[in-house]
């Protein structure tokens, strides 16, 4: 069964757009989660908000946001301030975007201490040049890193325009797939066309990226936050992966700086390479099974089977619901059977049959004799 769409909107490339839907590629509901319960009663526990200083409970409507600036000192931030920051952030240019000017300057005339901003995607690690001992700390002899995606014939890419609305995936540029650093990949989604009208435009964008072997990089608003996203062909559909922000990923230089470079013997390398070749195989999803989850599910089923079965009262059907007045009338009808019978069915009147020598006939006979 296809889950409910996480997001619905439009995939836009220049003047071409098509209605699409984002479906989560990761099933978070399959994870086993536990609730906090009371060990003595087995009942579920509820957490209560308590003021850290006064110790008094706090109602949910009094809960707010605060940025800590000192010990028990917070800057209270309101919702309207956050919303204003979101709108301003969408229209603000990138801090590392190159300045555009009509006059093109030679790269050799740039100050030596100005370093290029850190790129989000790098095709290969760049070795740093050690600084000379007689060089002052204020300047650096390290040359500016050349941008492999930028040449003298290709102008700098301008800062992206603000997203029109919260229901648009705006594709700003296309980059080679091998340049995407795996550290920045965050959450995967399946991008699917929503109706037959947009299937043609959807197929055009998908097949164009597949023919050029590139992925599209753009932005999308999820949970009121603008997130960078890449889209790439995947079978008949498109796979979208949100990216982490640049400040969220740590630089590897501080971790790998103290690793020494060793000169390894050739024989040792040949043995290690032989072991690698013998263990080389294809990617198999079988090795991605969460065996802890499999064992835990079986144990939970065993414990559930040992519990006594609870007798659940049958829920009355909605078709049997009748008015209260009808029930009261039926109860009154059932409690008075005798009165009901006498009142509804009166006893038939009995007419006596005339007998011989009745008084009426004798009086009539006497009247004829006397006449």
| CATH assignment at residue 185 | 2.40.290.10
Is the Cβ–Cβ distance between 98 and 150 less than 8 Å? no
Give the distance, in angstroms, between the CA of residue 89 and the centroid of all CA atoms in the same chain: 23
Task: Calculate mean pLDDT across residues 10-36.
Answer: 89
Query: Is a pLDDT exceeding 90 seen at residue 314?
Result: no
Q: In the predicted model, what is the mean pLDDT of the chain?
A: 77
Helix runs in the chain, H state only: 79-91, 199-212, 253-256, 266-278, 291-306, 324-335, 337-344, 359-370
* Domain presence at residue 74: no
Query: Is a pLDDT exceeding 90 seen at residue 98?
Result: no
Domain that holds residue 217: 9-27+155-253
pLDDT band at 88 (very low <50, low <70, confident <90, very high): confident
* Domain presence at residue 313: no
* Domain presence at residue 319: no
Is the Cβ–Cβ distance between 21 and 192 less than 8 Å? yes
At 156 the three-state DSSP class reads: coil
Query: Is a pLDDT exceeding 50 seen at residue 237?
Result: yes
Query: Is a pLDDT exceeding 70 seen at residue 122?
Result: no
pLDDT of residue 121: 47
Q: Tokens standing for 125?
A: 């690690």
pLDDT band at 164 (very low <50, low <70, confident <90, very high): low
Q: Specify the residue for token string 């990617």.
A: 283
- The answer to which of 136-150, 270-284, 312-326, 335-349 has the lowest mean pLDDT is 136-150
Task: Calculate mean pLDDT across residues 47-54.
Answer: 90
Per DSSP, what are the bridge partners of residue 23? Answer: 190
In order of 112, 116, 126, 156, 175, the CA distances from 107 in angstroms are: 10, 12, 19, 14, 24
* Domain presence at residue 67: no
Is the Cβ–Cβ distance between 202 and 195 less than 8 Å? no
In order of 132, 145, 189, 203, 258, the CA distances from 197 in angstroms are: 64, 46, 22, 11, 58
Radius of gyration of the chain (CA): 43
Per DSSP, what are the bridge partners of residue 8? Answer: 21
Query: Is a pLDDT exceeding 50 seen at residue 154?
Result: no
Task: Report d(CA 303, CA 306) in Å as an integer.
Answer: 5
Q: DSSP strand E in the chain: where?
A: 7-13, 16-24, 65-70, 73-77, 168-176, 185-193, 214-222, 225-234, 237-243
Task: Calculate mean pLDDT across residues 311-337.
Answer: 70
Task: Calculate mean pLDDT across residues 245-270.
Answer: 94
pLDDT of residue 309: 81
Ramachandran category for residue 198: left, alpha or beta (phi over 0 → left; psi -120 to 50 → alpha): alpha
Query: Is a pLDDT exceeding 80 seen at residue 152?
Result: no
- When divided into structural domains, the chain yields a total of 1
Task: Report d(CA 8, CA 19) in Å as an integer.
Answer: 8
DSSP annotation of 38? -
- Percent of the chain past pLDDT 70, that is, above it, reads 68
Task: Report d(CA 364, CA 130) in Å as an integer.
Answer: 158
* Domain presence at residue 13: yes
* Domain presence at residue 163: yes
Task: Report d(CA 63, CA 106) in Å as an integer.
Answer: 56
Ramachandran category for residue 166: left, alpha or beta (phi over 0 → left; psi -120 to 50 → alpha): alpha
Task: Calculate mean pLDDT across residues 272-295.
Answer: 92
Per DSSP, what are the bridge partners of residue 16? Answer: 13
> Of the ranges 86-95, 183-192, 319-328, which is most confident?
183-192
* Domain presence at residue 196: yes
In order of 61, 164, 220, the CA distances from 79 in angstroms are: 13, 22, 21
pLDDT of residue 322: 62
The total number of residues shown for the chain amounts to 371
* Domain presence at residue 200: yes
At 37 the three-state DSSP class reads: strand
Helix pair 324-335, 337-344: axis angle to 10 deg: 90
Task: Report d(CA 89, CA 347) in Å as an integer.
Answer: 95
Query: Is a pLDDT exceeding 90 seen at residue 212?
Result: yes
Query: Is a pLDDT exceeding 90 seen at residue 240?
Result: yes
pLDDT band at 345 (very low <50, low <70, confident <90, very high): low
Per DSSP, what are the bridge partners of residue 66? Answer: 76
Task: Report d(CA 362, CA 366) in Å as an integer.
Answer: 6
Query: Is a pLDDT exceeding 50 seen at residue 217?
Result: yes
């Amino acid at each position: 069964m296809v889950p409910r769409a996480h997001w619905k909107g439009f995939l836009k490339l220049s003047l071409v757009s098509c209605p699409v839907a984002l479906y989560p590629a990761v099933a978070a509901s399959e994870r086993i989660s536990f609730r906090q319960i009371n060990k003595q009663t087995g009942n579920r526990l509820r957490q209560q908000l308590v003021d850290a200083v006064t110790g008094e409970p706090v109602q949910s409507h009094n809960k707010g946001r605060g940025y800590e600036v000192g010990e028990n000192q917070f800057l209270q931030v309101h919702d309207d301030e956050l919303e204003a920051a979101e709108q301003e952030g969408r229209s603000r240019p990138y801090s590392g975007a190159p300045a555009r000017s009509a006059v093109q300057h030679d790269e050799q005339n740039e100050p030596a201490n100005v370093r290029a901003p850190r790129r989000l995607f790098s095709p290969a690690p760049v070795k740093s040049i050690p600084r000379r001992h007689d060089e002052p700390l204020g300047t650096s002899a390290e040359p500016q890193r050349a941008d492999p995606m930028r040449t003298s014939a290709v102008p700098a890419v301008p800062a992206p325009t603000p997203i029109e609305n919260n229901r648009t995936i705006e594709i700003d540029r296309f980059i080679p797939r091998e340049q995407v650093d795996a550290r920045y990949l965050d959450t995967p989604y399946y991008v699917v066309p929503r109706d037959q009208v947009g299937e043609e435009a959807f197929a055009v964008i998908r097949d164009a990226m597949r023919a050029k072997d590139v992925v599209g990089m753009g932005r999308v608003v999820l949970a009121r936050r603008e997130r960078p996203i890449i889209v790439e062909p995947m079978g008949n559909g498109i796979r979208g992966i949100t990216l982490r922000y640049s400040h969220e990923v740590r630089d590897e230089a501080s971790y790998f700086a103290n690793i020494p470079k060793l000169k390894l013997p050739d024989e040792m390398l040949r043995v290690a390479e032989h072991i690698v070749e013998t263990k080389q195989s294809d990617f198999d999803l079988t090795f991605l099974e969460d065996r802890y989850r499999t064992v835990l599910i079986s144990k939970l089923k065993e414990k559930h089977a040992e519990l006594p079965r609870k007798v659940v009262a049958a829920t009355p059907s909605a078709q049997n619901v009748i008015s209260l007045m009808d029930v009261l009338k039926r109860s009154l009808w059932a409690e008075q059977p005798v009165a009901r019978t006498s009142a509804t069915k009166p006893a038939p009147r009995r007419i006596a049959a005339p007998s011989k020598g009745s008084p009426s006939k004798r009086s009539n006979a006497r009247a004829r004799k006397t006449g």
